[in-house]
Amino acid sequence: MAERVLAHRKSNKANGIGTYMDYSLLFIVIFLLGFGLVMLYSTSSYEANLTFDGDSAWYFRKQLWATILGVVVMLTVANIPYHFWERFAVLGYLVTIVLILLIIPFGRESHGAKRWLIIAGVSFQPAEAAKLCMILFLSSMICSMGKRIRTRKGFYMVMAIPVPIALMLWRITRNMSSAIIVMGIAALMLFVSCPDYKRFVLLGLAALVGAALLVFVIVRMADAGADELNFRGARILAWLDPEAYASGTGFQTLQGLYAIGSGGILGKGLGASKQKLGFLPEAQNDMIFSVICEELGLFGAIAVILMFIMLIWRFMVIANNAPDLFGALLVVGVLGHIAIQVILNIAVVTNTIPNTGISLPFISYGGTSVMFLLIEIGLVLSVAKGIHLKDL
């Protein structure tokens, strides 16, 4: 496969056709990584100083090494023809299932949930691998199905593929946000390859009705004085009225809103956040956007959102010009992953949806997350390099 692609590129070069490199995408990613490291240090230095015996750069240093390694891996993947990974699609799906199941006996618990495995002394979150493997597997499967994907059987077969992974992420790792992202990736990739609007409208309406019924039942149970509500039920109640749960499940949400509100238009200045000084839980993780709003204000928040919009735009350009369907679906899958995660994170921070614990791509603390995100960017760059530009 690699030899054929190399020969094809040499032929194109001889015929006056150049390969495409998306430097705009690369610049946006590097900017987000650099900005993320700056904000991570600003957000985490106080807590790190207290937790790690005066080492205020502890979180920053770990994230920096993960970022450097991730960039190296990204550039390596970008220079490998993307069809090379198609042969590992089924293996990746199966390995993901095994890794999630290994969490049951060997998982490391943190903040009341088992989501991590320790491999060679390195903490690893299988949920991040699940998103990448799902993109690869669905891209390969949709291409192999061809026109059959437009049939009712083919449509629901593809929608059923991510369900076992999503259920295991939800029940075993208690990671509802990753389960939603996995299903969202599948829905977007299926929509692009089979744009049957009626089916997607019905699925969307069913999901909205189900969510509304769930909220209604939880509120009725709370009104009836039910004491047995799980933590997700408590989060929904805190979402509806965070002030009523200010000392419990609504505490993080309220502190995040205080940070956003106190930032104003231009913010308090880099490093000047008050909420990160022990008031805002997980400030360097899920709630880092609140600190961005507090320190850089509405201006900084909009700038970050615009950078993500530009990133998604570059994905769309590459997907529209991809050499084949497999490459286009890979890019669409990465687009769906990052777009859904950004939307969910900002929605949680602003209390638009219940708190579900989800990081902001490239900016929040998390070595596993940044590594797999950069691998996905490497795949997108590999697809972009397959685009050929004719000399005019």
Question: Which pLDDT score is estimated for 68?
Answer: 96
Percent of the chain with pLDDT over 90: 57
The pLDDT of residue 3: 40
Does the pLDDT value for residue 101 go beyond 70? Answer: yes
Kindly report the pTM of this predicted structure. 0.91
- Has residue 131 got a pLDDT over 50? yes
Q: Higher-confidence residue: 151 or 32?
A: 32
At 340-358, the pLDDT tens digits run: 999 999 999 999 988 888 8
pLDDT of residue 339: 96
Domain parsing of the chain, residue ranges:
20-197+243-390
pLDDT in tens, 158-212: 889 999 999 999 889 888 889 999 999 999 999 888 877 788 888 889 888 988 8
Distance from C-alpha of 317 to C-alpha of 389, rounded to nearest angstrom: 14
Confidence of residue 40 (pLDDT cuts 50, 70, 90): very high
For residue 389, what pLDDT is reported?
A: 65
- pLDDT over threshold 90, residue 221: no
Residues 42-97: tens digit of each pLDDT:
999 999 999 888 889 999 999 999 999 999 999 999 999 999 999 999 999 999 99
Measured distance CA(314)–CA(335) in Å, rounded? 9
